[in-house]
Structure 1
Amino acid sequence: MTSPDQPSDQPKEILLVEDSPSHQDLMLEALAETCVSHKVHIVNNGEEALEFLRQQNNYAAAPRPHLILLDLNMPRMDGRELLAIVKADLDLKLIPIVVFTTSKAATDVIKSYGLHANCYISKPSDIDKLFEFVKVIVNFWLNIVTLPPT
């Protein structure tokens, strides 16, 4: 479903916050197999993500993402710090954030939900399951859910 402000034929904007080039490549491959028209923007850490979201520096023309896929363990500013900042920002807090990380630690799950992550998914090590999870995430958040207007 789309909002009246977002025509259905417009690609959805996805911000992938991931520092690992191999994980970035896998995610791009998995996202390419989804049935949702989308554009993926990749940043390597929380600082870059914040610049993207606030349209600062190299990201002055960055679009507002419809969905953020967030890794937790990154250099400079990690996903936990970014999550706290985004969800406390009145202009950004409505953007859905899916924590998609290798961590299965209960402390990370609890902290992420406490910081208002929209959901927490541990990346499976099996590539077929990873692709399946990405398809389900994208379909749910960009096809089924009614998102706030951008």
Structure 2
Amino acid sequence: MTTTRTQTAQPIDILLVEDNPGDVRLTEEAFKEGRIENNIHVARDGVEALAFLRKEGTFDDAPRPDLVLLDLNLPRMNGDEVLATLKADDELKSIPVVVLTSSKAEEDIVTSYKHHANAYLTKPIDPAAFIETVRSFEEFWFSVVRLPPVEDGR
């Protein structure tokens, strides 16, 4: 049986792949004050993100995220590599991925969409604008967009 998270009382699971502690804090703060109940899980680099998604090692009981927020500039494995790997995996490719990065480079935007990112957002430098961007994103993705169903027990 499948259900849509926004149709139930279940919180939304978000995997935030971000190595900057300040951006992690701002993102968590923005989601905490939002209207949608959520659980934010943080991976600090690309290797950790894939381990979480694949439920490997210490992440064997990790939930399947409803959405991945992915920075491009990551240690060990960059965001482009994570995105390409995730979207090439039959078990993971249906998870929506939103690139949330400081890069405004056209090449990064083109590459992200080439690797099947669902959206590309540039992080504002101003903390208040950053929080507003995350809140707008939350409203759109969890109130307007229909996410793929999740299988019960996953």
TM-score by length of 1: 0.94
Structure 2: gaps of 5 or more residues:
none
Partners of 1:138 and 1:102 in 2: how far apart?
18
Question: CA-to-partner distance for each residue in 1:86-124, whole Å, 9 max, x for gaps?
Answer: 011111111110000000011100100110000101101
Q: CA deviation at 1:146?
A: 1.2
Q: Amino acid of the residue matched to residue 128 of structure 1?
A: A
Determine whether 1:80 maps to 2:83.
no
Question: CA-to-partner distance for each residue in 1:31-57, whole Å, 9 max, x for gaps?
Answer: 111110000000101110100001000
Aligned position for 2:130: 130
Determine whether 1:4 maps to 2:34.
no
Aligned position for 1:112: 112
Q: CA deviation at 1:143?
A: 2.0
1:121 is paired with a residue whose SS is strand
Asked if the contact 2:70–2:79 (Cα under 8 Å) also holds between the matched residues in 1, the reply is yes
Partners of 1:148 and 1:125 in 2: how far apart?
32
Structure 1: gaps of 5 or more residues:
none
Aligned position for 1:145: 145
Partners of 2:115 and 2:4 in 1: how far apart?
28
Map residues 93-104 of structure 1 onto 2, 5 A cutoff: 93-104=93-104
Q: CA deviation at 1:5?
A: 5.1
Asked if the contact 2:84–2:115 (Cα under 8 Å) also holds between the matched residues in 1, the reply is yes
TM-score by length of 2: 0.92
Q: Size of the alignment, in residue pairs?
A: 148
Name the % identity: 47
Partners of 2:126 and 2:32 in 1: how far apart?
18
